[in-house]
Amino acid sequence: MTGRLKGRRAVVTGGSRGIGAAIVEAFLREGANVAFCHYGDDEGASSTLKRAKSYGPVPLALECDVSNPADVEKFVGEAEATNGPTDILVNNAGISISHPFEDISIEEFDRILAVHLRGSFIMTKAVYTGMKSRRYGRIVNVSSQLAVKGGVELAHYCAAKAGVIGLTKALAMEAAPFGVLVNALAPGPVETAILHVLSDEWRSRKMSEMPIGRFATPEEIAPAAVFLASEDSSYFVGATLHANGGDVMQ
């Protein structure tokens, strides 16, 4: 722990498991006050809270569908009532469904975009005005290496994650003059529940493509989020950090 986020108020979506939980714990270790949300994962949220007790202030954990404006308003309202105005937002919430393109239903396509892209937009709207008025903020949008590479049977997911990078760049240009730095994180394959819903064939094929020869752990991704949330990233604007084991080299 170096205290790089000491006193900062952070909001993390999808913080009950996987990359989100690792980010919550990393932020706590760096001294931040954290509120995180989940959707239908009480068990995972309880597990994150249990581990968090050893780091200091216990984070606030609430259920929230990030694609629902009313849910987001309630979540952010309670987070700021507890911790104070939001300094850091990590848009991490995500889901994945793997299908050949012709089998992707319109409903599935809409839901994937709703969680990843619409959710990032709604959550950011909820905190951005305050950040702008205080002339300080860090927004970290979690995308994917598939946003730039594409992926078999993941057209809807790739489209959503590419949209997240586009949103990041556009807002970054507007926000930087007001001290709000917006960047993205594009992990490669990570051993999380999202990856495990994909077929064994997909996992085997992807593993064979990885120069590093393995998938990441969530704990290997979290330090990049800490960096983008801290003062160390003071000259990063609209950037996308590719923590992907060489799956995409940029």
The domains found in the chain, sorted by start residue, are 9-241 (3.40.50.720)
The tens digit of pLDDT for each residue in 108-118 reads 999 999 999 99
Position 217 pLDDT exceeds 80: yes
List Cβ neighbours of 139 (8 Å cut-off, separation of 6 or more): 88, 89, 91, 124, 127, 128, 131, 168, 171, 175, 180, 181, 182, 183
Position 190 pLDDT exceeds 70: yes
CB 19 within 8 A of CB 217: no
Q: Residue 25's pLDDT is what?
A: 96
Reduced to 3 states, what is the DSSP secondary structure of residue 240? strand
Q: Please report which confidence band the pLDDT of residue 78 belongs to, taking 50, 70 and 90 as the band edges.
A: very high
Break the chain down into helix, strand, coil percent, rounded to 5: 50, 15, 35
Reduced to 3 states, what is the DSSP secondary structure of residue 75? helix
What is the distance of C-alpha 116 from the center of its chain?
9
What number is the average pLDDT over the span 63-90?
Answer: 98
Q: Which residues are catalytic?
A: 157
Work out the percent of the chain whose per-residue pLDDT is above 70. 99
Q: Residue 87's pLDDT is what?
A: 98
Give whole-number Cα distances, 116 to 49, 157, 167, 220, 248, in Å: 24, 8, 11, 21, 21
Distance, in Å, from the CA atom of 178 to the CA atom of 186, rounded to the nearest integer, reads 25
Q: Residue 57's pLDDT is what?
A: 79
Q: Residue 200's pLDDT is what?
A: 82
The tens digit of pLDDT for each residue in 238-249 reads 999 999 999 988
Position 194 pLDDT exceeds 80: no
Position 189 pLDDT exceeds 80: yes
DSSP 8-state code for residue 117: I
Distance, in Å, from the CA atom of 247 to the CA atom of 109, rounded to the nearest integer, reads 25
> How do beta strands 60-63 and 180-185 pair?
unpaired
Q: Residue 147's pLDDT is what?
A: 96
What number is the average pLDDT over the span 147-176?
Answer: 96
CB 148 within 8 A of CB 248: yes
The tens digit of pLDDT for each residue in 123-142 reads 999 999 999 999 999 999 99
Position 88 pLDDT exceeds 90: yes
Q: Please report which confidence band the pLDDT of residue 223 belongs to, taking 50, 70 and 90 as the band edges.
A: very high
Distance, in Å, from the CA atom of 185 to the CA atom of 20, rounded to the nearest integer, reads 12
What number is the average pLDDT over the span 171-189?
Answer: 97
